[in-house]
Amino acid sequence: QQQVKQSPQSLIVQKGGISIINCAYENTAFDYFPWYQQFPGKGPALLIAIRPDVSEKKEGRFTISFNKSAKQFSLHIMDSQPGDSATYFCAASGGFKTIFGAGTRLFVKA
């Protein structure tokens, strides 16, 4: 019940394309869903986050889509750039706990 399942493990996208990463959770007590971006040799950094009272949140080229009934949420990166190449982690928070997904390694080809 505490797992957050993330897919795909890795993703290769052409420059200018759309990158889509999906996550699913089980515990309905989770009520905050952040996405973190991690570059090699660095710690994760918050990219964008959503609460389950909205179905979508957009910040620049990054959009979270949230489906509460399906217990799924996804990250869309529009106009993907080589500088977006990194590992992306979804997470689910609630009751002082944050559970991270296993991560998606994104490579954007120039």
Interaction residues for other proteins, span 13-52 (CB under 8 A)? 32, 34, 36, 41-46, 49
To 10 degrees, the CA torsion angle through 85, 89, 90, 94?
A: -150
Q: Which of 9, 110 has the CB closer to other proteins?
A: 9
Judged by CB under 8 A, the number of residues near other proteins is 25
CB of 98 vs other proteins, minimal distance in Å:
5
Residue 54's H or E segment, with its range, is none
- β-pairing, 104-109 vs 10-14, is parallel
Interaction residues for other proteins, span 69-108 (CB under 8 A)? 89, 91, 93-98, 100-103
